[in-house]
Chains A and B, each alone.
Chain A
Amino acid sequence: MPEPRPSPAHSVLGSIVLIGVVVAGSAAAFAYTAGWLSPERLTPWKMLQALAPPSGPALGHRRNHAKGICFTGVFESNGSGAAISRASVLAAGQYPALGRFNLGTPNPDAADASVRVRGMGLRITPPNGEEWRTAMINAPVFAASTPEGFHELLLAAGSKDTNAMKVFARAHPEFATFGAWARNGPWTGSYAEDHFNGLNAFIFTDSSGADHAVRWSLLPQAQIIPVAQDDLEKLGADFLKQEITQRVRSGPQRWTMAVTVANPSDPTADPTKAWPEDRRTIDVGTLVVQRIEAEADGPCRDINFDPTVLPPGIRTSDDPFPAARSSVYAKSYDLRTAEAKDYPRIPTGPKP
């Protein structure tokens, strides 16, 4: 009679232990990958915690640049950009644009004159389904050279220790350029007079396949009238929204999109370092803002101006920021859309 092949009791036990080890090992590898075993990992969630004010985030709103107003218009591409990128949005033509003027604060009720950083989110959609999204600010350089450095800055700025910022600035000399701009840079009384700089470096690929490292900026065509911050403080808390609504009602507002091409030796991975003034700059088109709408029920509300949403012909460079921003903005978006009931879709701001 053939021997029964089933294993003797001790071998059954061995098999069961083996199965247990396989299952537990897989679960542990999964937990490790998810970061549950690495409390030191800088996650998008931690970044959002560092951004939040002590009273907690404003539910339903963006976790940063929380105060804003929507605009729509067109991007008139003049075709000059086609020399350095095959992106269809840089071929001559007019493409719909949607955007958002905003203030760099996690507080949607902040007084306009109290916020140093102003921003613009912009989405341009050529007809073939491609998209170009970007979010830019009025500062000439960024405040940190790495996302980790930005996290430290947020912790220092939010710290109760009055020395924390001094300690940070000493440990991060690269903060000085931004710091000087924040203290002494000019203020304007209108979004229409502000520069909006992309700051991060991206790669344009032209039709021959050659790559060009670039940064882009929107330069206001309106005349810039510098104003002292003290004078802005005398205006209402929402003067920027009111002003841009009025101004666009009386006529479209324009910005020139300027793309600066790096020399091979220019730093692309560090947005605290401006490139020298003499770099080749190409005016690729004009953003025309035609209509302003309140955010609460406006078309920009549920858009995530994720800087990694790029058309073929434009891609991220070795600059670590766009990836970090994409990850954090997605988390912010998931949270704020889930909290929509805390931010009713009733317009409170000015109507066009």
Chain B
Amino acid sequence: MNAIRHHFAPLQRLLHWLMAICILAMLFIGVGMVSTIMPKYVPLVSIHKTLGTVIFVLALIRLVTRFYYGAPPLPVDLPEPMKLAAELSHYALYALMIGMPLLGWAMLSASAYPAELYGGIYLPALLPQSDSLHTLLWNAHFYLAFAFFALILMHAAAALFHALVRHDGVFAAMAPVPIREEATQVEYRVAE
């Protein structure tokens, strides 16, 4: 048997935290831009499209690293339903970080809008113009954005619960900088 790893690979951790910042920024930029008519609307939309596309590319790279490095196992004493919730929510987070940019891009195409990124880069149209597709994609991009935010809040709450209450090494596995929590985990198990 291979030695069990306790941490995500440094590249995975780098991508996780870099993307966490970008995705949270995207959600805030998204709801901020659609509720303003101020001059900042134009740069916000441009950043939204550009950063969203960067997230899409990073997400694909991240998916590859996930298949390559795998993920450290969850603690053995974690109740089954919680393990399932963790796994399912991770699938959902991956689906959203790949799906949201595709929906945004396709929505622009369906409204015959040029998908122009910062620096005068144009993405090709994914779909022909169509009002019904535009409406469908708009609704998906809109409702999934709120689902994404809710999921991230739950995910962060769970991560903090592992870090502050369970001290079970789950947070350390993804910590942006190495932290010594394994010791805690071992001591905890012994104490039980």
Residues on A lying within 8 angstroms of B by beta carbon are 1-7, 12, 15-16, 18-19, 22-23, 26-27, 29-30, 33-35, 41-44, 47, 129-131, 147, 302-304, 306, 308-309, 312, 316, 318, 320, 322-324, 326-328, 330-331, 333-334, 337-338, 340
The main secondary structure of chain B at its interface with chain A is: helix
Contact between B188 and A323 (Cβ–Cβ < 8 Å)?
no
By beta carbon, the residue of chain A nearest B138 is: A334
CB distance from B177 to the nearest CB of A (A): 19
Is there a chain A Cβ closer than 8 Å to B3's Cβ? no
By beta carbon, the residue of chain A nearest B24 is: A26
CB-CB under 8 A from A27, the residues of chain B are 153
A4-B37 contact in complex given A22-B156, A23-B153, A309-B113, C-beta closer than 8 Å: no
A322-B38 contact in complex given A5-B188, A340-B132, C-beta closer than 8 Å: no
By beta carbon, the residue of chain B nearest A125 is: B114
Proximity bits, B127-150, A CB within 8 Å = 1, else 0: 001011011001000000000010
Interface centre among A5, A130, A324 (most CB of B within 10 A): A5
CB distance from B136 to the nearest CB of A (A): 10
CB-CB under 8 A from B31, the residues of chain A are 30, 33-35
CB distance from A122 to the nearest CB of B (A): 14
Query: Which B residues, 21 to 71, have Cβ-Cβ distances below 8 Å to chain A?
Result: 27-28, 31-42, 45
Is there a chain A Cβ closer than 8 Å to B79's Cβ? no
By beta carbon, the residue of chain A nearest B45 is: A326
In the bound complex, CA of A2 to CA of B187 (Å):
7
A327-B188 contact in complex given A5-B167, A337-B111, C-beta closer than 8 Å: no
In the bound complex, CA of A23 to CA of B28 (Å):
15
- Which of B9-17, B87-95, B98-106, B157-165 is the interface stretch? B157-165
CB-CB under 8 A from A130, the residues of chain B are 114, 122
A18-B184 contact in complex given A7-B165, A47-B37, A328-B37, C-beta closer than 8 Å: no
CB distance from A12 to the nearest CB of B (A): 6
A33-B32 contact in complex given A23-B156, A129-B122, C-beta closer than 8 Å: yes
CB distance from B119 to the nearest CB of A (A): 9
By beta carbon, the residue of chain B nearest A20 is: B157
Contact between A2 and B191 (Cβ–Cβ < 8 Å)?
yes
